[in-house]
Structure 1
């Protein structure tokens, strides 16, 4: 299991909360939640998302995460988790 240091967790929380601040202005809460999840899936590396999960699932239970961000990650987690690595294509004619 990977570990997340206090410093790295604080950085991930700060970054996620900044994304949440932007989407909090949306009038439609579902659109805001989708926007947060979409942003994390599109722009965060899988290891950053894993670090956020470790922080959320660990003893701290996501301490410091804004409620909107916490909800987006918990309710849309399936969209955020990276797909398993596909097998490498075989070289044709080798």
Structure 2
């Protein structure tokens, strides 16, 4: 259920970014927002979902942004 909430939130960000006439920056804007405002655990769960191939319910901008979303630093 948590993954569905994260995807919903990421999709809302993508819809907002898609409405701005930023062109190629739209994908970067999605990644920037998620990197700045999401907890590292949330980012990791979204990345894991995408890497497992569960992208059918993700906005295309979210899927494109996945490589630019920072993974949390492993515990030292």
Would the TM-score normalized by the shorter structure come out above 0.5? yes
How high is the TM-score relative to the length of structure 1?
0.70
Q: Which digits, 9 at most, give the CA deviation of each residue in 1:55-93, with x for residues without a partner?
A: 111152x2300011110123x13xx223456x7xxxxxx
How high is the TM-score relative to the length of structure 2?
0.84
Question: In structure 1, what is the equivalent of residue 41 of structure 2?
Answer: 47
Q: Unmatched 5+ residue regions in structure 1?
A: 1-6, 88-94
The answer on 1:19 being equivalent to 2:13 is yes
The answer on 1:82 being equivalent to 2:72 is yes
Assess if the C-alpha contact under 8 Å between 1:20 and 1:69 holds in 2: yes
What is the total number of aligned residue pairs between the two structures? 76
Q: Which digits, 9 at most, give the CA deviation of each residue in 1:9-34, with x for residues without a partner?
A: 11111000000010001223322111
Separation in 2, partners of 1:53, 1:67: 14
Larger radius of gyration: 1
Change (3 A) 1:28 1:59: closer
Change (3 A) 1:46 1:21: same
Question: In structure 1, what is the equivalent of residue 57 of structure 2?
Answer: 64
Between Structure 1 and Structure 2, the one with more helix by share is: 2
